[in-house]
Amino acid sequence: MNAIPQATGTTVGMDDDIFEQFIEQLKRYVRERLIPAEAQVIAEDKIPDEILDEMREMGLFGLTMPEEYGGAGMNISQYVETIRQLSYALPAYRSITSINLGMVCSAIKNSGTDEQKAAWLPRLAAGEIASFGLTEPGSGSDSAAMQTTATRSGNGYVLNGTKRYITNAPFAKVALIMARTEKEALPRNAHVSAFLVPMDTPGISVGKSDKKMGQAGSHIADIIMEDVHIPGDALLGGAEGKGFQTAMQSLDNGRLSVAAASAGYARRILDTAIRYATERKAFGEPISNFQLIQAMLADSEAEIYAAECMIADACRRADAGEKVLVKAASAKMFASEMCGRVADRCVQIHGGAGYLAEYEAERFFRDTRIYRIYEGTTQILQLVIAKNMLREFAAGAN
C-alpha cells in the first residue's frame, strides 16, 4: 500500500476524495493482508515486524498529526472512520496505533508547547509507539486516589509511582504520565500534572506483560518509576495542574476510538455469523432459514447501525468545535455493550461450535469483553452522562 497523502489543511481534514480512496485501499489491506495474518499474531502473541513496518509506511501512526509534523492531518470523523475500518481485523492492529493517535497526539496537540510538538509529533507520526499512563493499582478515574508523585528537583522533577494496565507499555518509546504535583489543590483535580517521559529514562522499568482473556497481540503491563529524574520541559504545556483536564480531553478521542473499534469488530462478527448460518444445515436446510436465527441477525444489524450513527454524529459535532464529553461517553457505552451482544449472538448461532476455539466465535466473545471496561467502564460512563445531565438541568432551572 501507498502512504497516506498529506491533508490540504489542518482544520478541515483530508480532501474527501483522497480520504475515500484511502479507505478503499485500507479495506483491501485489512482483508488481504491483516486478516490472513491473524493466526500468526494469535500464535506468537505479537504483530509481525514486517506488518508494523508496513503500517508505518502507510502512515497509520500519523493519521491525526498535523501535516507540518509529518502526519495526514485527518479530522476526528476521518480518524474514527479509519479506526472503524481497521477494527474489522484483529483488535491488536488498532491497539498498537490508537494510543498514539487518539490520546497522546491529542494531548500534545491541545496542550503541548511548540517545542514539545516539534520534538514529539514527528516521532509519533513516524511510528514510535506511545503509552498513556493514567491508571494505577489503586486508582483509575478517581484522580484523588492517584499515588504517583512528581516532586520538584532543581529545574526538573522526580517521578515515583506505578501505572497499571498500560497498553503498549512493553514497546513504547514515550509515555504520557499523569502524576501528583501537589498534595491537594483547588479547583478539583488541579493537583495532577502531565509529563512526557522517554521510556529509556533511568529509573523506569516495565513489568511483565499481563496474561489476558483475549485481544492476542495487544500487550499491557505496569510502568514502574523509581526516582526518575526528568527535566522541567517534560511538563506538558509547561504548566502544572493541567494533567487531569488533559487526560479527560484525550479520553473523548479515546472513547470515540473504542466506540469505532466496537462497531468495526461487531460488523466482522456479524458477517461471520451470517456466513456460518448460511453454511450450517439442520433438518435439511440452512439454519439461516430459521426465523429465530434471522431475529438474532436482524437485531445485530440494527444495533450496529445505531452505533455507527451515534459515532458519526459525535464526531461531526467534535469537528464543529462542540464539547462532546457526554456524546462520546454515550457512543462508547452503547457501542461497546452492543458489540458484546453481537458476539454473544454469534456464539449462539454457532451453537456448540461457538464454544470451541476452532471457530472464530469463541475468540470474538473473549476479545470484545474489554471494550466495556477500558477508556471508562460502562458504569463510570453512566455516572459521567448522568452527572452532566443533572448539571445542565440545574443550570437551566436557575
**SS3 state of residue 197:** strand
From the list 38, 362, 375, 392, the catalytic residue is 375
CB 9 within 8 A of CB 73: yes
DSSP state of 397: H
The Cα–Cα gap between 120 and 173 comes to 11
| CB contact set of 194 (below 8 Å; sequence gap of 6+) | 107, 111, 176, 177, 178, 179, 235, 236, 237, 242, 243, 246, 247
CB 340 within 8 A of CB 377: no
User: How many separate helices (H) and strands (E) can be counted in the chain?
Assistant: 12, 9
CB 318 within 8 A of CB 252: yes
375: annotated active-site residue: yes
CB 196 within 8 A of CB 108: yes
For residue 22, what is its C-alpha cell?
A: 484511502
Q: For residue 228, what is the enclosing H or E element?
A: strand 220-230
Q: Which residues are catalytic?
A: 375
